[in-house]
Amino acid sequence: MEVLLSAEDRRFRDEIRDFILRQRPLAFLDKARRRVPFSPDDHRLWQRMLNDAGYGAPAWPVEQGGCGWSPLRQMLFAEELLLHDCPRQSPYGLAMVGPIIMAFGSEAQKRHYLPRIRSADDWWCQGYSERQAGSDLASLATSARLGADGYYTVNGHKIWTSTAHEANMMFALVRTDNTGPRQQGITFLLIPMDTPGLTVRPLRTLDGNRTINEVFFDDVRVPEANRVGEAGKGWTYSNALLQNERLLIADIPRSKKRIARIKTLAATTHRGGRALAEDVGFMRRVALLEADLEVLQMGMLRYLSELQAGRAPGPEVALLKIRGSEIGQALNALLLEAAGRSALPYAPSDHGVDAYPDEFDDYRGIVEHHLFYRASTIYGGATEILKSVIAKRVLGV
Amino acid sequence: MYWGFDVAYSVADLTPSDEARMLADSVARFVDDRYSHPDWRAIVDGEPGYCQARWQQMADLGWTGLAIAEVDGGYGGQLAELLQVVEGLGRGLATEPLVSTAVIGADLIAQCGGPARAILPRVAQGELRLALADEEAEGRGGAEGLATVARDQGGRWHLAGRKWLVPDAPHADQLIVSARIQGVEAEDAACALFLVPVAHPGVEITVVRSFDRRRLGQVLMTGVELDQQSLLALPPHGAALIARARARLLAAYAAEGLGLAQRVLELTRTYLSAREQFGSRLSGFQVLQHRLVDLFIAVEELRTVARMAMIACELADQRMLGAARIKLIQLLPMVGRQAIQLHGGMGMSDEYPLGDCMKRLEAIALSCGPIEQVLDHFRAAVSAIDQVAPPTP
């Protein structure tokens, strides 16, 4: 990739790197070194710091307080954050609800919410999935009835809601009409998490941590002013911006770090008195994935360049997410293999730093990431769903 | 300096320009208009194994001289444009020796300079066809471990050795032959290049037919006596030039493979949409849809690989070249085999064009390998870069 960056883009990256190295709190470095996950407070603090420096919303237009950067620069920025051990920016406000408010929200909503997303005064979660509406999202049933008093009354149950326990706001798809085609009765609501009748319950994932939740709505009252756009258009709004999301969830920087970690581990891990790094068979398998990743990144740049040339790529960009998650999972599996039985000792991060035995510090996080990352081929459009979308909309079969 | 470091590339170069797209379209029309699959069969199975008239048309369209400098009688175009032609011809399974002649041969002659450059106008006109004879048995080649020897005897060169499965050698008028200079010990310092007419006394070419219906040549050279004019490059330039040629060949394989893979995808999509079993179209079965999408993803990746290989070979970027080579070895056979499976019994018929596409894809992948060696070269290139800029784990 290096050779394709212009002098200006390299200079841009140097500025970003310089900012990160000067401003990054020491605590981040320490956590990264010990492989301790960042806390919600870390995420909010960092978002505030980025915003104060003018980097709060890389993808947003300048009029909305964003950086107005090209997709390439957004990518470089995200990569620098991750490679230099900073929290990544939360996508829920910046990449998901923000652009929807920008495109379809009222002036009052834009004035109120957009600055608060950038400054981390609001922390958002996404209320889409339900037990009976996962991949088949259009069958969602959580209902919202508009009363004469100008309030919606929401009843129902959302599930797999990431960071609901940390967020103060939820953007939700709710059913306001049961009569027509199911996609047309869905409305987009902004719901404060402290509204009476709203309950959040943890749903621990395979890694044993609390990342996702169940959210129950029991006569939750939401003012009509919190509806984005028109009633019944929620499905259209939420789909309008899906493609952008899929361009950037190929998880390339994270996979680069995984490769670096495999190599470090291979150099220090011994099998029968010989370093794993000397095992040509193992290292060739690493190389195969490294080549995959190299081509994936070039593919992403190729789509970005099409976008910049004014030829927006179509639903085929979903293949970046398909391949990116496959490669990430395969790398996790190699890390697991490199660790061998040393991966067996385990304690989830939620149990505290000290719950995991120091003696196995070299392997901290490997199993945790492996287990949680199985979700990557399921969330944000399961691989099979994305393939069906490509089959129908790109190949026309 | 034999590498084109003066060329700058940017992210925008990952997609073909509008002009390049138009060129690709015209090549596709050329291929479609010229002959049907039975005609193609008759040509490749007959003599000389490609169509002389078509070769002349290609030359008349300016393709043989596309990347030859104007002072040498060509059009002064870029490798990127030439590769668009290769992609289009690849789609049509063309066996005319354009890659050997225009992508590899003409470039080597131009890079070497000297008296041999005088033949370039005739190459541009389509009057002369070239082939690179580097590889030898037992995996020798790429300027390494060469057993072909050149002796300097009183101002004349004596060449002896055997070159192995040389692509297009039976179609060529002149061979570019790599040989080690006798008496020089160091491997990389020993490789020289010679221009050898196929009709020269002492050169014997045995034609070998490959499963993809191409003609390869076993080139035997015994007591081939050449004058100084035939010397193209001395060490250490010989090895660098061979590396350059191999990189360009990789870019050509990537372009050809992409052209073929697109055709295979279209054939398969059309077939699944038309064929009915169990009372419904095959394209309605989800498992087949998903396998078709796997094929589509491979084609999209090949699109990336083709541009990557083109840029990498202009910049001599070993890491990108390595990654491209690895992906070609994996993706090209996958595309062919997947398409055969999706065609079911129809795919097994030798009359249907799909099989010929599949065989060519397999042959290209074999010519890019062997995978273990490629992976080890890639690892070496990556670790050289990692040492300059260590990644943070």
pLDDT of residue B141: 86
Provide the chain A residues 259-318 that lie in CB contact (below 8 A) with chain B: 259-261, 263-264, 280, 283-284, 287-288, 290-292, 294-295, 298-299, 301-302, 304-306, 308-309, 311, 316
pLDDT of residue B90: 94
CA distance B215 to B206: 10
Instruction: Decide: B103 and B123 in contact? Cβ < 8 Å.
Output: no
pLDDT of residue B5: 43
Quick one: average pLDDT of A191-215? 96
In chain B, residues with a C-beta closer than 8 Å to the C-beta of A290 are 323, 378, 382
Task: Indicate if A245 belongs to the active site.
Answer: yes
CB of B303 less than 8 A from some CB of A: yes
Cα atoms in the Cβ-side hemisphere of radius 13 Å centred on A376: 26
Nearest by CB to residue B304, choosing from A290, A298, A308, is: A298
CB of A52 less than 8 A from some CB of B: no
Assess whether pLDDT exceeds 90 at residue B393.
Answer: no
Domain covering B132-234 in this structure, CATH number: 2.40.110.10
Q: Band of the pLDDT at B2, cuts 50, 70, 90? A: very low
Q: Band of the pLDDT at B17, cuts 50, 70, 90? A: confident
CB distance A391–B293 less than 8 Å? yes
**Tokens at A189, concatenated:** 């609501």
Contacts of A90 (CB under 8 A, 6+ apart): A43, A47, A123, A124, A163
Looking at per-residue confidence, does B20 or B357 come out higher? B357
Assess whether pLDDT exceeds 80 at residue B390.
Answer: no
Provide the chain B residues 311-370 that lie in CB contact (below 8 A) with chain A: 311, 315, 317, 319-320, 322-324, 326-327, 330
Measured CA distances, B308 to A185, B182, B262 (Å)? 46, 38, 17
CA distance B355 to B264: 10
In chain B, residues with a C-beta closer than 8 Å to the C-beta of A311 are 15
Instruction: Report CA dihedral (A282, A284, A287, A288) to the nearest 10 degrees.
Output: -100
CB distance B11–A4 less than 8 Å? yes
Instruction: Decide: B167 and B100 in contact? Cβ < 8 Å.
Output: yes
Q: Which residues pair with A156 in a beta bridge?
A: A217
Looking at per-residue confidence, does A249 or B336 come out higher? B336
DSSP line for B98-154: HIIIIIIIHHHHHHH-SGGGGGHHHHHTTS--EEEE--BTTTBBTTBS---EEEEET
CB distance B323–A259 less than 8 Å? no
Give the CATH fold of the B11-129 domain: Butyryl-Coa Dehydrogenase, subunit A; domain 1 (1.10.540)
C-beta atoms surrounding A33 within 10 Å: 9
Measured CA distances, A44 to A50, A53, A75, A209, B57 (Å)? 10, 14, 21, 20, 66
CB of B250 less than 8 A from some CB of A: no
Quick one: average pLDDT of A241-254? 76
Nearest by CB to residue A291, choosing from B315, B322, B386, is: B322
Q: Where are the alpha helices (DSSP H) in A199-279?
A: 234-240, 242-247, 252-268
Map out the domains of chain A as residue ranges.
Answer: 2-89, 124-232, 242-393
Assess whether pLDDT exceeds 90 at residue A10.
Answer: yes
pLDDT of residue B246: 96
Q: Band of the pLDDT at B3, cuts 50, 70, 90? A: very low
Q: Band of the pLDDT at B145, cuts 50, 70, 90? A: confident
CA distance B77 to A166: 59
For B64-107, how does the pLDDT look when each residue is reduced to its tens digit (9 = 90+)?
A: 999 999 999 999 999 999 999 999 999 999 999 999 999 999 99
C-beta atoms surrounding A181 within 10 Å: 9
Domain covering A242-393 in this structure, CATH number: 1.20.140.10
Q: Band of the pLDDT at A245, cuts 50, 70, 90? A: low
Nearest by CB to residue B269, choosing from A256, A257, A395, is: A395
Provide the chain A residues 73-92 that lie in CB contact (below 8 A) with chain B: 83-85
pLDDT of residue B38: 92
CA distance A251 to A143: 34
CB distance A323–B324 less than 8 Å? no
Q: Band of the pLDDT at A312, cuts 50, 70, 90? A: confident
Q: What's chain A's average pLDDT? A: 94
Give the CATH fold of the A2-89 domain: Butyryl-Coa Dehydrogenase, subunit A; domain 1 (1.10.540)
Nearest by Cα to A248 from A165, A311, A313: A313
In chain B, residues with a C-beta closer than 8 Å to the C-beta of A302 are 14-15, 303-304, 307
pLDDT of residue B369: 86
Measure B382 CA to nearest chain A CA, in Å. Answer: 9
Letter for the amino acid at A122?
Answer: D
Q: Indicate which residue of A214, A245, A316, A326 is catalytic.
A: A245
CB distance B375–A3 less than 8 Å? no
3-state secondary structure B62-80: CCCCCCCCHHHCCCCCCHH
pLDDT of residue A244: 61
Measure A257 CA to nearest chain B CA, in Å. Answer: 5
pLDDT of residue B287: 97
**For A124-232, which CATH class?**
mainly beta
CA distance B383 to B98: 36
Location of structure tokens 């596709």 = B28
Q: What's chain B's average pLDDT? A: 93
pLDDT of residue A243: 62
Map out the domains of chain B as residue ranges.
Answer: 11-129, 132-234, 239-388
CA distance A292 to A83: 19
Letter for the amino acid at B391?
Answer: P
pLDDT of residue B1: 31
For chains A and B, CB pairs below 8 A equal 131
Quick one: average pLDDT of A42-58? 97
**For B239-388, which CATH class?**
mainly alpha
Assess whether pLDDT exceeds 90 at residue A394.
Answer: yes
Cα atoms in the Cβ-side hemisphere of radius 13 Å centred on A231: 12
In chain A, residues with a C-beta closer than 8 Å to the C-beta of B294 are 387
CA distance B45 to B264: 22
Instruction: Find, in chain B, the residue whose alpha carbon is nearest to that of A309.
Output: B12
CB distance B308–A295 less than 8 Å? yes
**Tokens at A143, concatenated:** 């209902």
Looking at per-residue confidence, does A222 or A4 come out higher? A222
Element (H, E) at A30: helix A26-34
Of A101-110, A249-258, A289-298, B104-113, which range is least confident?
A249-258
In chain A, residues with a C-beta closer than 8 Å to the C-beta of B13 are 4, 305
Quick one: average pLDDT of A229-254? 84
CB of A27 less than 8 A from some CB of B: no
φ and ψ at B276, to 5 degrees?
-110, 135
Assess whether pLDDT exceeds 90 at residue B214.
Answer: yes
Quick one: average pLDDT of A72-81? 93
Q: In a 10 Å sphere around its CB, with 0-12 CB exposed, 13-18 middle and 19+ buried, how is residue B385 labelled?
A: middle
In chain A, residues with a C-beta closer than 8 Å to the C-beta of B376 are 280, 284, 287
Can you give the pTM of this predicted structure? 0.94
The percentage of residues in chain A with a pLDDT greater than 90, rounded to a whole number, is 86
